[in-house]
Amino acid sequence: MTEVIRMRAIEKRFPGVHALRSAEFDLMTGEVHALMGENGAGKSTLMKILAGIYIPDGGSVEVNGAAVHFSGPRAAQAMGIGIIHQELALMPDLTVAQNIFIGREPRNRWGVLDEAQLNRDAEAIFAAMKVPLDPRAEVRKLTIAKQQMVEIAKALSFRSRVLIMDEPTAALNEAETEELFAIIRRLKSEGVAIVYISHKMDEIRRISDRVTVMRDGAYVGTVAAADTPIETIIAMMVGRELDKTAAAIPDLTAAPVALSVRGLRAGRLVRDVGFDLRRGEILGFAGLMGAGRTEVARAIFGADPREAGEIAVHGQPRSIRSPRDAVAAGIGYLSEDRKHFGLALGLDVRGNIALTVLDRFSDRFLRVDDAALAKAAASYISSLAIRTPSDRQEVRLLSGGNQQKVVIAKWLLRDCDILIFDEPTRGIDVGTKAEIYRLLNDLAAAGKAIIVISSELPEVLRLSHRIAVMCEGRLTGILPGGPACSQQEIMRLATQRETTQEGASA
C-alpha cells in the first residue's frame, strides 16, 4: 500500500464560520478510511476540498506525492478523485447513462451524440460493478439505493483511484447496504482508496481499516478501526469521555397527558403510530433517515392528510385537519427547514416573533401597536437569550442558533403547550447547541410537552426523558431515556424491519 493523498494544515473559512482549522488527512491505496465527527465537524468540507469543489484558504494537498491545486471538480476528476455526494447530485429527468457521462458524452465524428455508445459504456461499467441496472432508465424512477449505484458508476467512469463516499448508507436499507459493501470490497481489492464518511459505528467497524476523527474543523487523530473501542472513537468525536450527563429524568407518572395519539396512519411512512406525551416531558424520536419521524409530526400537525387515527389534547379529542387546527389546539411544529417554513428571513426579529399573532397587537382599525410589540419581543429576546443587536435586526443576519430561538419565541407567544421540534440543532454550532438543549429542558420544566426529532443519536440520548424509535413508518418501541438507555438497543429497534420482526415473534 502506498500513500495517494496527503492533506496538511487545510484552512477554510465561510462567512461567519471557520470551517476547517489546520485539518489533515492521509489516504493509502486499497484502504477504506473512515472519516468521523459530529455534524459540522468539517468532514464534508474537507472532502469537497479534496474533490476540487471548494478551494482551500490555506494548506497543502498532495496526490501521489506531488502538490496539486485543483481549480474545480474537473481537475480533481482528471487526477482520479471522485466524490459521491451526501445529497445525490443527479439530474432526475435524464437517464442513468446520460447522468454518468454528463460532460463527457461520446460523440461521433460529426460531433453528434452517440446514444448507443453512451449506453454501451454505461453497461460496461455496471457489468464491472456486477450491478444490474438499465442505462436507459430515467433516474427519477429509481430507488435511492439504485441512484447511489449510479453515482458510484459515475465516479468509477473517471477511472477513479480515490473514491469519496459521504454518508452513502444514510438512505439505504440493510440489504442495500450489504450490496454497497460488496462493491466497496471489490473496489478495495482492485486498489481503489475509499474515504467513507458515516455516523454509523457498526458500519465503520465492519468496512473500514482506519478511522480519522475530526472535531470543530480540526484534526483529532487517526486510529485502526479493528482494535479501537467504539467508546474511544466517540470520546474523540465529542472531546470527552462518553457524555453520560443526560438530563435528570423527572418523575412524570403523575403528570397529566398533554397529547395522546392513537392508531395514526398517513401514507407509507406513518403506520399505526400511537403514544402519550405528558406535560413536562421530552419525548425523543429516533430512527434512520426515512423512518417516518417527520411524517408523524406533520400528520399530527395537520400538515399532511391523515388516513386514520385519533388525537387528544389534554384529554379532549381534537379534529386536526390543518396546521390552523393544530395551532388552535396548542400544538406548535418547528420544522427542520427553518429557512423555508419557519422564518421570514427579510423581516426583523420583532416582526418574526409577532408574525402569527399580529392580530393581538393591532386595534380594530388594524393599526399595529408597535410599543406592545417591542415589549413582547424584548421579553423573549432576554428570556431566550437571543443574541441580536436589536429587535430591528433582520433575521437573516443572525446565526442559525439565534434564528432557531426566534422560531421558538414565535411559538411560545402563541401559547403552544405542545411543541414538536424537528432537528432543532441542524446547522447550529456546538456552543449554541448546548444553549438550545438547556432551553428545551427549561421549557419542559415549565410544563410544556415536547417532542424532539433528531438524526443525531447523542442529541436524542442527551435530551429525551423517553425515546420513541421508528423503523419504516412503525413505532418499534419506546425506551426509557437517561444514562441507562443503550445506543445498541435504539439501533436494534431502528433497524427492526417488518420481516425480521415477524421472524422473531414466530
Partner 1 sequence: MTASAATPAKRGRFGSGAQQKILAFASLIVLLVFFSVASPNFLQTANVLAILQATSVNGVLAIAATLVIITGGIDLSVGTLMTFTAVIAGVVLTYWGLPMPLGIVAAIAAGAGCGFISGSLVARMKIPPFIATLGMMLILKGLSLVISGTKPIYFNDTPNFPLLSTGSLVGALFPGLPVPNGVVILFLLALAISWVLNRTILGRYCFALGANEEAVRLSGVNADGWKVTIYALCGGICGIAGLLIASRLNSAQPALGLGYELDAIAAVVIGGTSLAGGRGSILGTIIGALIMSVLLNGLRILSVAQEWQTVVTGIIIIAAVYADMLRRRRAG
Among 58, 92, 256, 274, binds partner 1 (CB under 8 A): 92
Asked if 111 is part of the footprint of partner 1 (rule: CB under 8 A), the reply reads yes
Tell me how far, at minimum, the Cβ of 244 lies from partner 1, in Å: 41
CA–CA gap between residue 344 and residue 169 (Å, rounded): 34
CA–CA gap between residue 98 and residue 465 (Å, rounded): 50
Among 58, 72, 239, 431, binds partner 1 (CB under 8 A): 72
Q: Would you call 137 helix, strand, or coil by DSSP?
A: coil
Asked if 68 is part of the footprint of partner 1 (rule: CB under 8 A), the reply reads no
Among 55, 58, 93, 186, binds partner 1 (CB under 8 A): 93
Asked if 134 is part of the footprint of partner 1 (rule: CB under 8 A), the reply reads yes
Tell me how far, at minimum, the Cβ of 96 lies from partner 1, in Å: 9
Q: Which stretch binds partner 1 (CB under 8 A): 21-29, 104-112, 221-229, 336-344?
A: 104-112
Among 22, 55, 74, 358, binds partner 1 (CB under 8 A): 74
All three cell numbers of 110, joined, read: 460529426
Separation of first and last alpha carbons in the chain: 48
Q: How many CB atoms lie within 10 A of CB 159?
A: 10
Among 55, 89, 127, 224, binds partner 1 (CB under 8 A): 89
Q: Would you call 246 helix, strand, or coil by DSSP?
A: coil
Q: Which stretch binds partner 1 (CB under 8 A): 60-68, 135-143, 253-261, 308-316?
A: 135-143
H or E segment and range at residue 311: strand 308-313
Asked if 77 is part of the footprint of partner 1 (rule: CB under 8 A), the reply reads yes
Tell me how far, at minimum, the Cβ of 161 lies from partner 1, in Å: 17
Output the CA torsion sign for 408, 414, 417, 419: negative
H or E segment and range at residue 118: helix 115-129
Q: Which stretch binds partner 1 (CB under 8 A): 88-96, 178-186, 225-233, 303-311?
A: 88-96
Task: Assess contact for 468 and 481: CB atoms under 8 A.
Answer: no
Instruction: Give per-residue burial for 235-260: e unless 16+ CB within 10 Å, then b.
Output: bbbbeeebeeebbebeebeeeebbbb
Let me know how long the chain is: 506
Asked if 145 is part of the footprint of partner 1 (rule: CB under 8 A), the reply reads no
Asked if 315 is part of the footprint of partner 1 (rule: CB under 8 A), the reply reads no
Asked if 55 is part of the footprint of partner 1 (rule: CB under 8 A), the reply reads no
Which residues of the shown chain bind partner 1 in the complex (CB under 8 A)?
53, 72-74, 77, 85, 89-95, 98, 102-103, 105, 107, 111-113, 115, 134, 136-138, 141, 154
